[in-house]
């Protein structure tokens, strides 16, 4: 039985740089992670899986006011293309407003970089790792017709070297959400049983640890 998926936004770090002008800019970097606690119902062993869900999302805003209402509106406009973060706009707006006042908004120009991690947490009961690895594959599943619309119908799967759309392998494919490389679902699942990185660029696709 799966537990509920609970989102949590954590502040990691910030850096402040003086600006030679009176421009006040804020750069927000958000990493989106799915943290899954898998419990083996037979042995009771617990494993923590960390699965990047999306590319890091960057928001760059120029402040003309330190009003929380004004900053909240700016954030909502930027987050339209990235819905998971909209629910955190209120808290972020208040934090940015407080920091802008602290750093001398209206008197000193500054560039503020803020780094966050948005983590979706859940708990699942599984007897082996295949179900969790399948979750990594399903994050970016595509239909063959979607692949053809991207002009990739002649591209090979870099694992088996057969065509992504035709050939003896299943036509279901996965486009990695973190690096956009595409592979046959079956090929990628077998690869992930041995490696936790993208076969092409070595981007980490999951991390796990027992506890």
Domain topology for 128-210: Herpes Virus-1 (3.30.40)
pLDDT, residue 199, reads 93
pLDDT digits (tens, 9 = 90+) for 70-90: 999 998 888 876 666 667 788
Mean pLDDT of the chain: 83
Residue 122, number of CB atoms within 10 A of its CB: 16
**What single string gives the DSSP state of each residue in 101-150?**
HHTTTTTS-EEEEEEEEEEEEEEEE-SSSHHHHHHHHHTTEE-HHHHHHT
Span 48-77, mean pLDDT?
89
Q: What is the pTM of this model?
A: 0.73
Q: CATH 3.30.40.10 in the chain: give the residue spans.
A: 128-210
Checking if the pLDDT of 9 tops 80, the result is no
Span 176-183, mean pLDDT?
88
- pLDDT band (50, 70, 90) for residue 69: very high
Do the Cβ atoms of 111 and 17 come closer than 8 Å? yes
Checking if the pLDDT of 1 tops 50, the result is no
Do the Cβ atoms of 157 and 169 come closer than 8 Å? yes
Checking if the pLDDT of 129 tops 80, the result is yes
Span 108-137, mean pLDDT?
86
Higher pLDDT, 115 or 144: 115
**Share of residues in the chain with pLDDT > 90 (%):** 19
pLDDT digits (tens, 9 = 90+) for 182-209: 999 999 999 999 999 999 999 999 998 8
């Amino acid at each position: 039985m799966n537990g509920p998926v609970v989102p949590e936004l954590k502040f990691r770090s910030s850096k402040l740089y003086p600006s030679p002008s009176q421009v006040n800019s804020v750069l927000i970097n958000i990493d989106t992670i799915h943290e899954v606690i898998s419990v083996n119902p037979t042995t009771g062993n617990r494993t923590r899986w960390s699965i990047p869900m999306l590319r890091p999302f960057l928001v760059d805003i120029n402040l003309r006011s330190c009003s929380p209402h004004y900053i909240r509106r700016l954030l909502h406009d930027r987050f339209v293309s990235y819905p998971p973060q909209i629910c955190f706009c209120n808290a972020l707006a208040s934090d940015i407003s407080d920091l802008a006042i602290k750093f001398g908004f209206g008197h000193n120009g500054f560039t503020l970089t803020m780094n966050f991690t948005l983590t979706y947490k859940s708990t699942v009961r599984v007897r082996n790792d295949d179900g969790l690895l399948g979750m990594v594959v399903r994050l970016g599943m595509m239909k063959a017709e979607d692949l053809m619309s991207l002009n990739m119908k002649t591209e090979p799967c870099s694992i088996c070297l057969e065509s992504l759309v035709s050939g003896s392998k299943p036509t279901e494919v996965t486009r990695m959400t973190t690096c956009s490389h595409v592979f046959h679902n079956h090929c990628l699942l077998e690869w992930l049983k041995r490696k936790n990185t993208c076969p092409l660029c070595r981007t980490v696709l999951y991390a796990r640890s027992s506890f």
